[in-house]
Amino acid sequence: MRFGVLDIVPHLPHPVTGEILSAHERLNRVVSTAVHAEALGFDSYAVGERHAGDFLSSSPTVLLGALAQATDRILLSTGVTVLSLLDPVRVAEDYATVDQLSGGRLEIVVGKGNEDRHFGMFGLEIGKQYEYLRENYELLRRLLREEHVDWTGVHHADLHDITTHPRPFDGPFRIWHGSATSTDAVDLAARWGDPLMTANALQPREAYLVLIDRYREKLVEHGHDPAVGYVGSGSGGLYLAATDEQAVRQYRPIYEAMAAKLAAAHADDPRKGKTMSFTTIEDAVAHGPALVGTPERVAEKILDYHKAYRHDLQSVSINPVLPHGEQQEVLARFAEEVIPLVRREVSTTLWGTDDAGRAGALRAGEQKVGL
């Protein structure tokens, strides 16, 4: 299995002390954590994109440019690029620039985003969010693969003889599709033979498993080799301690305050994926996707989820209200104690020599070794 770190860059006060970092410090910690994750041997580091609420991730390409310069090996990604909002021409230009800066270390995850307010901010209709996603993806796909593109669509202006610059580092970088509640993203990924990233953050595993199973069925229906159907999974938070009881006790104030905040913000919204299905830390640990406990218990849980999902990539997120030193310690313990236990039981071809769609830097590195 491969392992990544995701930071959607929430910017919130500590639920107990009320303290909050400056925006400057919070953004710089994104960079320092990526450097730390690379040193620990994580495979990828992803940043989110949000345009409303308590987040500082409105400019993911700027952050990724900083990460490209601060790191050397780790793959860079997003979680997610909110493609429903964006002009595909600009997306092709911006992310190809990051791909060049990083030397071909880019693979992104696209989706419509888990936020309603941003559609109005961009003058778009929320009811057409999946229409935007499908059309924008299909145009983006062509712009990354082709030069002199002609295009006629519904929502984007017609294009004639368009070539975006810069071109990607070594052919089009891979695009994953983020999935949380709807079949639309799943069907789009399956149609084009792209990998799927399941959120696996707020709901019971059964809700996500339905979408993963559909993805694999549709992938074959569209004539794709099942081997290209890589699946990634998020998690409902990560916290490690010497005992399960200690981990639950120490993480309780953070988890339950976050659950209460989401519940209050969406009190009149019955849609899935807007609030946590597990409101207590005990329930989240026992039945939900929260990775809280000893390294052995967390490894056991990842393997248990793998029996259902058969996923290739496990993404984890560290709650940013934890003291920075504690965040770094949790990440280090996960890398040193959890990852080896999981990899002892589960392997994958993702990002290896049998993965033809892997990032350009990986292919280039293998060619150099061969020489």
Helix ranges (H only) for the chain are 23-40, 60-70, 88-101, 117-121, 129-145, 183-192, 205-221, 244-265, 281-287, 295-309, 324-333, 339-343, 360-370
pLDDT on residue 219: 98
Predicted pLDDT at 73: 98
What is the dihedral sign for C-alpha 85, 87, 92, 98?
A: negative
Q: What domains lie within the chain, and their CATH numbers?
A: 2-370 (3.20.20.30)
Asked if 370 and 34 count as a contact pair (C-beta separation under 8 A), the reply is: no
Is the separation of the CB atoms in 91 and 81 below 8 Å? Answer: yes
The per-residue pLDDT for 338 is 98
Residues 6 or more apart whose CB falls under 8 angstroms from that of 160 comprise 150
Cα 153 to Cα 8, 138, 139: the distances in Å are: 31, 10, 9
Task: Please choose, from the candidates 87, 109, 122, 273, the residue with its C-alpha nearest in 3D space to the C-alpha of residue 188.
Answer: 109
Average pLDDT of adjacent 10-residue blocks, the chain of 371 residues: 98 88 97 98 98 95 98 98 98 98 98 91 96 98 98 97 98 97 96 97 93 98 97 96 96 85 74 75 93 98 98 96 94 98 98 96 70 39
| β-sheet bridge partners, residue 314 | 3, 233
- The radius of gyration of the chain from alpha carbons, rounded to an integer in Å, stands at 20
CB contact at 8 A, 190 and 224: yes
pLDDT score for 262: 75
Q: Rounded CA gap, 104 and 245, in Å?
A: 43
φ, ψ for residue 150 (rounded to 5)?
-105, 140
Q: Residue 283 and residue 100: Cα distance in Å, rounded?
A: 44
Using the structure block, give the residue that is written with the tokens 């099942």. Answer: 226
Question: d(Cα 351, Cα 282) in Å, to the nearest integer?
Answer: 35
| CA–CA distance, 311 with 191 (Å, rounded to integer) | 19
Query: What is the reported pTM?
Result: 0.95
User: Could you tell me which of 25, 22, 27 has the C-alpha nearest to residue 59?
Assistant: 27
Contact in structure between 31 and 66 (CB atoms under 8 Å): yes
pLDDT on residue 369: 44
Give the CA diameter of the chain: 62
Question: Which residue type sits at 175?
Answer: I
Find out whether 176 and 109 touch, Cβ atoms under 8 Å: yes
